């Protein structure tokens, strides 16, 4: 959305550009006589300086910047206004009145421009920095200024200094102009080095503008001093170019002020500014030395240049050393965590080439702590040093091994042909790190667990992601026995897997299998137990053992259980309606401990029964022994509420745990399910037989129905029936099966014995 103001501003910028282009064609095409050229040149400065003054004013009024930036732009606008006033004045003096006074009135405005611009540039906002940084910055800026000074001295200040018979006013102005420019160069250097030189185009344009003005000013002063100056000479081109850059800078600042905040930080390119200034200064010196002859000045100058170069080299070397110190681990000499992190960031930002991959390995020494504790820190250090040597020698030249701290190391591998190659390196490292270390008279044995994250994406990934994956993999390697490596796969990540399971519920990837519960006497199917399955899109049909732990740990078990209840009730209600033989079929659904702990459980069950139309009297909820044991009053009330609604409660896996009799009596339990492990002992195992018998008696005493699970043989079925168990479940009778097959089983049961 552009306002009228925006449109006018855009038109002004475009108009200025067009005008300037037309002027350049006219000027460079050498059209018109000298007077016309002078007149036109002087004239065109006026609208351009007017436009940049107005645009700067607009930044101040509407720019939406920080207070500090706005303050800077107030001063810059004032400076711009001085330029504008100077241009108007010059037009009158030079083009209309042909006054040749030097300094001209216009020049006084120019002198005013300098301090305003200087302070304005210095006030531009920049990142907070430390005291040392500020000192370094000032020194660098001073180096730039000193280099510029040498140029100015050669061109302007020197000649003024040695000139005789020049009026004092001219000397003063001719000296003030370059000195002012020097100030501006200083401010500019500070500004450029304080900010991203390439980050903010407006600042670069402003810098370019001021630099062009400096060149023009110096040219102007030089010409005035030696041959006189009239509008239309070459410095005018620099003033005009600078003026246009100012227009662009002000315009650009207005827009960037509304959008992204200022970027801070110093770009590497700008760091070379001081060295550039030194090179420039010495260029002039060398040039002069050639004119001077080698003795005495020439040789001295060469010596001075050499000395400076050496000092710079030394400084750079110290810098390198400091940087190295900051990024190496003192004990092992390997890159430290800071450097490893930068390397990982670089690796993550680099997409893998098609088919190839990068890898990050996190290595944790196993059993390091006991060595440290038992043999002392020196032994620990020896182990770490040995591990560092092993790592360094086991990887290729372009790869990085580093120490993250403690007994944790990292290895970064670039551009390997495939995952297999990564695994081979990991395996090699595991083997190499297993080598015992001789320390004095003891032989120390450490091993390492390695977690590997492979980056084979064709796009950049986040470094944190790689680190997290490697960390998870390392943790898994440690848990599954140490001295091994583990490559990260999504299923190591409980968060990721839980999310996967959650979306499986939503996408309908879970299904229900039904296992009939059979009356052992008649063979009639009296109930079905609903058992969850996951039809995984990649891994095929998964049994509950593969994902229920995860569901329990992450709480996904609650929505999962609710889904199971709803889905199986819906299915069973349909059977009730459709299949005459299933009219009295019970449905048994497992509840996890977490579900039973839910305050709202009776409400949830009631709502599902209501929605599906399945009768409460036909529903059995299975809870485990653990729940029975932990039951508090609230839970008892909750279960009673369920019982009162007509639902029956079964205790699953009975006989494996420690259900106290007292607990059994306290809870409204209608069914006991004899655990499959007891059934498995039948009929041979006497203890199993006695236990099974005891449970069956117990059921009779408490008037509970008893269901035997895991019946795999006809003998087991017979034994249980003889012991008085009425119902059973197991592979001998029926396997759990999909709903479609369960229908058939229901139909066929009548004839079954
Ligand atoms: P469970 O409740 O004790 O279920 C009986 C398990 O024994 C089922 O395993 C069943 O397939 C298996 N089984 C049935 N007959 C035989 C047999 O003759 N021999 C042997 N060896 N096994 C037999 P499944 O389906 O793998 O379920 C395992 C467990 O997962 C279940 O044990 C139950 O604790 C849990 N589970 C299954 N579905 C759900 C559910 O929807 N919610 C909750 N909370 N837990 C569930
Ligand atoms: Ca069960
Ligand atoms: Ca069971």
Q: Give the model's pLDDT for residue 101.
A: 81
Name the token pair of 463: 């470094």
- Residue 442 CA to residue 440 CA, distance in Å, equals 6
| Residue 3 CA, distance from chain mean position | 37
Please name every residue paired with 495 in a beta bridge, in sequence order, or none if there are none. Answer: none
Q: How big is the CA angle at 615 (ends 613 and 620), to the nearest 5 degrees?
A: 125
Please name every residue paired with 438 in a beta bridge, in sequence order, or none if there are none. Answer: 443
Cβ atoms of 535 and 541 within 8 Å: the answer is yes
Ligand 1 site residues (CB inside 6 A) read 515, 531-532, 543-545, 548, 561, 564, 590-592, 652-653, 676, 710-712, 729-731, 736
| End-to-end CA gap in the chain | 82
Cα of 142 vs centre of ligand 3, distance in Å, is 83
Which residue has the least CA distance to atom 41 on ligand 1? 532
Cα of 752 vs centre of ligand 2, distance in Å, is 24
Q: What is the mean pLDDT of residues 302-312?
A: 84
What are 189-212's pLDDT values in tens digits? 888 777 644 456 777 888 888 888
Q: Which ligand neighbours the alpha carbon of 517 most closely?
A: 1
Which residue has the least CA distance to atom 21 on ligand 1? 710
Which residue has the least CA distance to atom 45 on ligand 1? 590
Mutate to test the pocket of ligand 1, among 516, 518, 544 (most ligand atoms within 8 A of CB): 544
Which whole-number Å values give the CA distances from 164 to 101, 160, 220, 225, 618, in the listed order?
Answer: 19, 8, 20, 12, 120
Which residue has the least CA distance to atom 11 on ligand 1? 736
Name the token pair of 338: 């800071």
Q: Which ligand neighbours the alpha carbon of 710 most closely?
A: 1
Cα of 545 vs centre of ligand 1, distance in Å, is 9
Cα of 529 vs centre of ligand 2, distance in Å, is 7
What are 78-92's pLDDT values in tens digits? 999 999 999 999 999
Which whole-number Å values give the CA distances from 284 to 107, 139, 277, 305, in the listed order?
Answer: 29, 22, 11, 11
C-beta pairs of 547-552 under 8 Å, 24+ apart in sequence: 547/497, 547/501, 548/592, 550/494, 550/497, 550/498, 550/501, 551/498, 551/501, 551/592, 552/592, 552/593, 552/594
Whether the pLDDT of residue 748 is over 60: the answer is no
Cα of 33 vs centre of ligand 1, distance in Å, is 104
Closest CA to 184 of 165, 163, 160, 212: 212
Q: Give the model's pLDDT for residue 167.
A: 81
| Residue 500 CA, distance from chain mean position | 22
Which residue has the least CA distance to atom 30 on ligand 1? 544
Cα of 531 vs centre of ligand 1, distance in Å, is 6
Which residues have C-beta within 8 Å of that of residue 458, sequence separation ≥ 6?
A: 351, 352, 354
- Residue 185 CA to residue 642 CA, distance in Å, equals 85
Whether the pLDDT of residue 267 is over 70: the answer is no
Which residue has the least CA distance to atom 22 on ligand 1? 710
- Residue 100 CA to residue 176 CA, distance in Å, equals 19
Cα of 651 vs centre of ligand 3, distance in Å, is 9
Cα of 534 vs centre of ligand 1, distance in Å, is 13
Which residue has the least CA distance to atom 19 on ligand 1? 710
Mutate to test the pocket of ligand 1, among 513, 514, 531 (most ligand atoms within 8 A of CB): 531
Going by pLDDT thresholds of 50, 70 and 90, the confidence category of residue 659 is low
Cα of 707 vs centre of ligand 3, distance in Å, is 10
Q: Give the model's pLDDT for residue 750.
A: 42
- Residue 109 CA to residue 581 CA, distance in Å, equals 107
Which atom of ligand 1 approaches the CA of 531 most closely? 38
Say what the pTM is.
Answer: 0.49
Cβ atoms of 749 and 524 within 8 Å: the answer is yes
Residue 367 zone, left/alpha/beta (φ > 0; ψ -120 to 50; rest) = left
Which atom of ligand 1 approaches the CA of 731 most closely? 18
- Residue 556 CA to residue 113 CA, distance in Å, equals 70
Which residues have C-beta within 8 Å of that of residue 75, sequence separation ≥ 6?
A: 116, 117, 119, 120, 123
- Residue 12 CA to residue 659 CA, distance in Å, equals 89
Which 8-state DSSP code applies to residue 265?
Answer: S
Please name every residue paired with 360 in a beta bridge, in sequence order, or none if there are none. Answer: 412, 453
List strand residue ranges (DSSP E) for 15-114, in order: none
Which residue has the least CA distance to atom 44 on ligand 1? 592
Cα of 158 vs centre of ligand 3, distance in Å, is 102
Residue with tokens 């560092």: 388
Which atom of ligand 1 approaches the CA of 564 most closely? 41
Q: Can you give 117-142 as a three-state secondary structure string?
A: HHHHHHHCCCCCCCHHHHHHHHHHHH
C-beta pairs of 125-128 under 8 Å, 24+ apart in sequence: 125/66, 125/68, 125/69, 125/72, 125/262, 126/191, 126/194, 126/195, 126/264, 127/194, 127/195, 127/264, 127/265
Which residue has the least CA distance to atom 3 on ligand 1? 653
Whether the pLDDT of residue 264 is over 70: the answer is no
Cα of 560 vs centre of ligand 1, distance in Å, is 15
- Residue 73 CA to residue 249 CA, distance in Å, equals 11
Cα of 675 vs centre of ligand 3, distance in Å, is 6
- Residue 124 CA to residue 82 CA, distance in Å, equals 19
What are 173-188's pLDDT values in tens digits? 878 888 888 888 888 8
Which residue has the least CA distance to atom 27 on ligand 1? 544
Cβ atoms of 382 and 437 within 8 Å: the answer is yes
**Half-sphere exposure in the Cβ direction for 343 (13 Å, CA):** 23
- Residue 157 CA to residue 148 CA, distance in Å, equals 12
- Least confident piece of the model among 145-149, 350-354, 664-668, 681-685: 664-668
Q: 623-646: string of b/e by CB count within 10 Å (b at 16+)?
A: bbbebbeebeeebeebbebbbeee
Q: Give the model's pLDDT for residue 171.
A: 80
Cβ atoms of 642 and 604 within 8 Å: the answer is no
Mutate to test the pocket of ligand 1, among 590, 680, 737 (most ligand atoms within 8 A of CB): 590
Going by pLDDT thresholds of 50, 70 and 90, the confidence category of residue 660 is low
Q: Which ligand neighbours the alpha carbon of 592 most closely?
A: 1
Which atom of ligand 1 approaches the CA of 711 most closely? 18
Closest CA to 422 of 392, 451, 386: 451
Cβ atoms of 651 and 702 within 8 Å: the answer is no
What domains are defined for the chain?
A: 4-259+273-288 (1.20.1070), 337-492 (3.30.70.270), 496-749 (3.20.20.450)
Q: Give the model's pLDDT for residue 127.
A: 64
What are 214-248's pLDDT values in tens digits? 888 888 888 877 777 777 788 888 988 998 998 88
C-beta pairs of 19-24 under 8 Å, 24+ apart in sequence: 19/44, 19/47, 19/48, 20/44, 20/48, 20/240, 20/244, 23/240, 24/237
Cα of 675 vs centre of ligand 2, distance in Å, is 9
Which residue has the least CA distance to atom 34 on ligand 1? 590
């Amino acid at each position: 959305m552009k306002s009228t103001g925006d449109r006018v501003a855009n038109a002004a910028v475009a108009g200025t550009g067009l005008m300037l282009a037309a002027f350049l064609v006219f000027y460079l095409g050498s059209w018109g006589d000298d007077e016309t050229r002078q007149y036109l040149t002087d004239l065109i400065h006026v609208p351009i300086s007017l436009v940049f003054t107005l645009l700067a004013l607009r930044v101040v009024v509407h720019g939406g910047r920080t207070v500090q930036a706005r303050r800077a732009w107030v001063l810059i606008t004032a400076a711009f206004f001085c330029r504008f006033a100077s241009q108007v004045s010059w037009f009158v003096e030079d083009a209309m009145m042909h006054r040749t006074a030097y300094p001209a009135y216009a020049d006084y405005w120019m002198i005013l421009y300098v301090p305003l611009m200087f302070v304005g540039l210095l006030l531009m906002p920049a990142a907070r920095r430390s005291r040392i940084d500020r000192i370094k910055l000032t020194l660098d800026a001073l180096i730039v200024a000193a280099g510029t000074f040498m140029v100015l001295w050669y061109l302007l200040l020197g000649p003024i200094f040695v000139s005789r018979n020049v009026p004092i006013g001219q000397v003063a102005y001719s000296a003030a102009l370059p000195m002012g420019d020097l100030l501006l160069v200083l401010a500019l250097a500070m500004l450029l080095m304080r900010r991203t030189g390439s980050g903010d185009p407006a600042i670069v344009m402003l810098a370019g503008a001021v630099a062009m003005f400096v060149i023009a000013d110096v040219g102007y002063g030089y010409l005035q001093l030696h041959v006189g100056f009239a509008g239309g000479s070459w410095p005018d081109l620099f003033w005009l170019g600078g003026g246009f850059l100012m227009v662009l800078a002000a315009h650009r600042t207005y827009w960037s002020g509304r959008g992204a905040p200022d970027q801070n930080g110093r770009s590497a390119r700008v760091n070379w500014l001081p060295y550039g200034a030194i090179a420039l200064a010495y260029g002039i010196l060398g040039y002069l030395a050639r004119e001077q002859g080698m003795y005495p000045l020439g040789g001295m100058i060469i010596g001075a240049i050499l000395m400076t170069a050496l000092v710079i080299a030394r400084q750079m070397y110290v810098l390198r050393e400091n940087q190295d110190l900051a990024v190496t681990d003192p004990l092992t000499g390997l890159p430290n965590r800071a450097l490893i992190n930068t390397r990982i960031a670089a690796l993550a930002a680099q997409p893998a080439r098609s088919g190839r991959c990068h890898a990050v390995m996190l290595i944790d020494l196993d059993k390091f702590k006991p060595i440290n504790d038992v043999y002392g820190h020196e032994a620990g250090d020896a182990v770490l040093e040995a591990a560092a040597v092993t790592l360094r020698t086991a990887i290729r030249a372009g790869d990085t091994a580093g120490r993250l701290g403690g007994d944790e190391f990292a290895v970064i591998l670039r551009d390997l042909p495939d995952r297999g190659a990564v695994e081979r390196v990991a395996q090699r490292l595991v083997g190499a790190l297993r080598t015992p270390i001789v320390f004095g008279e003891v032989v120390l044995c450490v091993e390492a667990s390695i977690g590997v994250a492979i980056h084979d994406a064709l796009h950049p990934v986040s470094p944190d992601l790689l680190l997290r994956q490697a960390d998870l993999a390392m943790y898994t390697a440690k848990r599954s026995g140490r001295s091994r490596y583990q490559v990260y796969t999504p299923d190591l990540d409980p968060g990721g897997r839980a999310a996967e399971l959650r979306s499986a519920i939503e996408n309908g990837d879970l299904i229900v299998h039904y296992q009939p519960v059979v009356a052992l006497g008649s063979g009639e199917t009296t109930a079905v137990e609903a058992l969850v399955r996951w039809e995984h899109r990649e891994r095929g049909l998964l049994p509950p053992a593969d994902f229920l732990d995860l569901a329990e740990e992450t709480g996904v078990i609650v929505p999962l259980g609710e889904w199971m209840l709803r889905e199986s009730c819906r299915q069973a209600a349909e059977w009730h309606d459709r299949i005459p033989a299933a009219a009295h079929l019970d449905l048994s659904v497992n509840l996890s401990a977490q579900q039973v702990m839910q305050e709202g459980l009776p409400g949830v069950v009631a709502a599902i029964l209501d929605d599906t139309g399945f009768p409460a009297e036909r529903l059995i909820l299975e809870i485990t022994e653990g729940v029975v044991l932990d039951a508090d009053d609230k839970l008892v009330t909750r279960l009673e509420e369920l019982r009162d609604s007509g639902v029956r409660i079964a205790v699953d896996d009975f006989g494996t745990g420690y259900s106290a009799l007292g607990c059994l009596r306290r809870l409204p339990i209608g069914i006991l399910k004899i655990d499959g492990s007891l059934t498995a002992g039948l009929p041979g195992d006497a203890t199993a037989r006695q236990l099974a018998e005891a449970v069956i008696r117990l059921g009779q005493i408490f008037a509970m129905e008893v269901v035997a699970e895991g019946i795999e043989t006809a003998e087991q079925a017979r034994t249980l029936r003889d012991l008085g168990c009425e119902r059973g479940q197991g592979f001998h009778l029926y396997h759990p099966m999909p709903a479609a097959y369960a229908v058939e089983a229901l139909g066929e049961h009548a004839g079954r014995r």
